[in-house]
């Protein structure tokens, strides 16, 4: 796990529909991650319903 970002309903990243979630390239300790491939896991909860999407992302500096 590199970093967990959480958003409350209604705030940017937690609104209905599509959201853009900027990531500064840092891990949970504030250190910039190395170049390479990473897995991005997005989990969305709405009431009792939960959806998970997994995507590959690349970091190049």
Higher pLDDT, 52 or 61: 52
Give the pLDDT of residue 37. Answer: 96
d(CA 40, CA 1): 10
d(CA 52, CA 29): 25
* pLDDT, tens digit (0-9, with 9 covering 90-100), for 12-47: 888 888 888 889 999 999 999 999 999 999 998 888
Residue with tokens 């190395």: 34
Boundaries of every domain in the chain: 1-61
Residue with tokens 């590959």: 56
d(CA 48, CA 12): 22
């Amino acid at each position: 796990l590199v970093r967990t970002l959480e958003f409350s309903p209604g705030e940017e990243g937690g609104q209905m529909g599509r959201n853009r979630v900027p990531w500064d390239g840092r891990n949970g300790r504030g250190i910039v991650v190395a170049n390479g491939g990473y897995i991005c896991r997005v989990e969305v909860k709405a009431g009792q319903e939960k959806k998970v999407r997994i995507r590959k992302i690349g970091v190049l500096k």
